[in-house]
Chain A
């Protein structure tokens, strides 16, 4: 059912539908015109026969008078095996002199007259003409053959229409499936690119149709993007090399000087910010996704909890870890460890001095909670921004990049971060 609904949303389906509608419309139009023209032609032919008959009969009347006309009529009726010809010659008193029709209204010119009330649709085309001495001649022909022809035409149209629908459906499905397949292969390739495999390209046949042209255009865009990314990487490498190397030298010079500890510490801080910025940029680029492997989050949580427990203890705090065993996720262990370490470090740093820090892995969420002052609701959105630090923590050490890295790592793994009120304290929930 869902597969059907999904298919109903595809281009393939729309193309099939459109194809079907157009084919149907074309067939109907063609059949309609054919029907109309054929039936008109058949009626005209009958009318022509009637006119010929009337001409012949009038000629007989002129030459031999009414008796000759009556004889002619009788002869014609006798010769008509199909019983489709009708005649009526009535006298001045309105009585029938000759013919095979009951009395009919004396209407000159063309008219349609019901032949047999018992038979449905038994209409004849008739031509009435007044004769000298108040005689009246009516010549008619049954339209049943035309009706039969029409019925046959309708039947044929039905068959043709049915075949057209089947062909249209088949053709539409074929075209639609082709389109869908091309689109799906493009989508798959682009999904791989999104996962950080920048070298993947779409299939494009030389020459080819719009899809190939589109694929080539997308490939060109990807080439350019990859070039830009490589240039960016080169730039960060250059920055890393050309700025950090002299900074490191500076730090080393300062290190060997007496009383320059503060300057060394300042150098370290700059270098640390550098490293953090470059790392955030790398995480945000998504390039790490290519190296994703199964990561046991329970092991990651246990490692981080175990690593920080003594530090929390030193701070007078208790680090409580409640870790459920769960399935591994696809990810980057190193980054996940760092993300969690940053969160736990924050909780220890900003938590209450003799409080509790809780690290929980439950279901598909990790939470890290402290019982410190917490973060006011209106300030929570801002803490993931680079270099953002709450007024209260300006005096404590930190680059203001820890949570920005946390956000980048979570985003890379498709995880959502929410900050909650732990009443008291801050609870950070990372869910996936």
Chain B
């Protein structure tokens, strides 16, 4: 993917650019908000990664101006502020996701990937989500594995739906906490891990949900 990175801290920018490039993305980096806005309007990017605090024009202003100009390129906003209201502010301004610093690079990668392939490939109207022989019918609200029906609790349903909607991609612990539980802090206890392993066990062998150490989880067909 072509990614525009707008970040004024050279060290952080270099780290992010390196990680994104290593994951096979094409990264353009600018350090200034106004320049970032011009580049973003110029187009050709699939994802924008914008720091909130920037010289010239800050991240909020950048995204707001971009949306006002009718540019819908998904934007991930980064911030060093720990403030609670900031996320809401960022999303209100038109950002699609919000990641507080410090973050682990795998978290950033997972979120950029989730944003990047969202619109076209992810048909929002899909009524059946499928991975290998696992099927989730959103209309009939049934889950089957190789034709065998599996009963899920409401939360397990939402967890599986989230994983399936991001099938083949990495979802992180905090993405799951936000998407499934609407919880925006990281509990110390490995609560997500226990929920995921329960679901994994319920779905049966061979396991479809893989744990990627230090990164998160992914649902994909079992390795042959």
User: In the complex the two chains form, is B187's CB within 8 Å of A307's CB?
Assistant: yes
User: In the complex the two chains form, is A334's CB within 8 Å of B191's CB?
Assistant: no
Partner-binding segment picked from B35-43, B82-90, B127-135, B160-168: B82-90
Give the B interface residue count (CB, 8 A): 32
Q: Hey, which chain B residues are within 8 Å of A237, CB to CB?
A: 53, 80-81
User: In the complex the two chains form, is A398's CB within 8 Å of B188's CB?
Assistant: yes
Q: Hey, which chain A residues are within 8 Å of B155, CB to CB?
A: 306
Q: Hey, which chain A residues are within 8 Å of B12, CB to CB?
A: 245, 248-249
Query: How far is A291 from B184 in the complex, measured between Cα atoms in Å?
Result: 16
Interface flag for A191 (CB, 8 Å): no
Q: Hey, which chain A residues are within 8 Å of B188, CB to CB?
A: 345, 397-398
Q: Provided the pairs A282-B84, A345-B189, A397-B188 are in contact, do residues A314 and B9 lie with their beta carbons within 8 angstroms?
A: no
List the B residue with the shortest CB-CB distance to A277: B82
A288, A313, A338: the one within 8 Å of B194 (CB): A313
B53, B102, B181, B190: the one within 8 Å of A303 (CB): B181
Query: How far is A310 from B155 in the complex, measured between Cα atoms in Å?
Result: 12
Given A252-B105, A282-B84, A310-B198, 16 other A-B contacts at CB below 8 A? A237-B53, A237-B80, A240-B82, A241-B81, A249-B11, A278-B82, A279-B82, A279-B84, A282-B82, A303-B181, A307-B181, A310-B191, A311-B191, A314-B194, A345-B188, A348-B189
User: In the complex the two chains form, is B82's CB within 8 Å of A307's CB?
Assistant: no
Interface flag for A308 (CB, 8 Å): yes
Identify the 8 closest CB pairs spanning chains A and B, nearest first.
A248-B102, A310-B194, A278-B82, A241-B80, A240-B80, A311-B191, A311-B189, A249-B11
Query: How far is A345 from B80 in the complex, measured between Cα atoms in Å?
Result: 27
Query: Smallest CB–CB gap between B205 and chain A, Å?
Result: 20
Interface flag for A109 (CB, 8 Å): no
User: In the complex the two chains form, is A288's CB within 8 Å of B101's CB?
Assistant: no
User: In the complex the two chains form, is A310's CB within 8 Å of B80's CB?
Assistant: no
Query: How far is A279 from B84 in the complex, measured between Cα atoms in Å?
Result: 8
Q: Hey, which chain B residues are within 8 Å of A291, CB to CB?
A: 85, 88
Q: Is the interface of A mostly helix, strand, loop or mixed?
A: helix
List the A residue with the shortest CB-CB distance to B177: A307
Q: Provided the pairs A279-B82, A282-B83 are in contact, do residues A244 and B101 lie with their beta carbons within 8 angstroms?
A: yes
User: In the complex the two chains form, is B53's CB within 8 Å of A245's CB?
Assistant: no
Interface flag for A350 (CB, 8 Å): no
User: In the complex the two chains form, is B53's CB within 8 Å of A288's CB?
Assistant: no
- Seen from chain B, the residues whose Cβ lies within 8 Å of a Cβ on chain A are 9, 11-12, 15, 53, 80-85, 88, 100-105, 155, 181-185, 187-191, 194-195, 198
Q: Provided the pairs A241-B53, A248-B102, A252-B15 are in contact, do residues A337 and B183 lie with their beta carbons within 8 angstroms?
A: yes
Q: How many interface contacts (CB-CB < 8 Å) are there between A and B? A: 90
Q: Hey, which chain A residues are within 8 Å of B100, CB to CB?
A: 275
Query: How far is A364 from B35 in the complex, measured between Cα atoms in Å?
Result: 54
Query: Smallest CB–CB gap between A365 and chain B, Å?
Result: 23
Interface flag for A130 (CB, 8 Å): no
User: In the complex the two chains form, is B53's CB within 8 Å of A334's CB?
Assistant: no
Q: Would you list which residues of chain A between 252 and 308 have a CB under 8 Å from chain B?
A: 252, 255, 271, 274-275, 278-279, 282, 287-288, 291, 303, 306-308
Query: Smallest CB–CB gap between B183 and chain A, Å?
Result: 6
Q: Hey, which chain A residues are within 8 Å of B181, CB to CB?
A: 303, 307
Q: Would you list which residues of chain A between 301 and 350 have a CB under 8 Å from chain B?
A: 303, 306-308, 310-311, 313-314, 332, 334-335, 337-338, 341, 345, 348-349
Q: Hey, which chain A residues are within 8 Å of B81, CB to CB?
A: 237, 240-241
Interface flag for A186 (CB, 8 Å): no
Q: Would you list which residues of chain A between 228 and 248 have a CB under 8 Å from chain B?
A: 233, 236-237, 240-241, 244-248
Query: How far is A30 from B80 in the complex, measured between Cα atoms in Å?
Result: 77
Interface flag for A251 (CB, 8 Å): yes
Query: How far is A247 from B15 in the complex, measured between Cα atoms in Å?
Result: 13
Q: Hey, which chain B residues are within 8 Å of A338, CB to CB?
A: 185
Query: How far is A349 from B81 in the complex, measured between Cα atoms in Å?
Result: 30
User: In the complex the two chains form, is A275's CB within 8 Å of B191's CB?
Assistant: no
User: In the complex the two chains form, is B187's CB within 8 Å of A288's CB?
Assistant: no
User: In the complex the two chains form, is B183's CB within 8 Å of A251's CB?
Assistant: no
21 pairs, CB–CB < 8 Å, chain A vs chain B: A240-B80, A240-B82, A241-B81, A245-B80, A245-B102, A248-B101, A248-B102, A249-B12, A252-B105, A275-B100, A278-B83, A279-B82, A282-B83, A291-B85, A303-B181, A306-B155, A307-B187, A313-B194, A334-B84, A341-B187, A397-B188
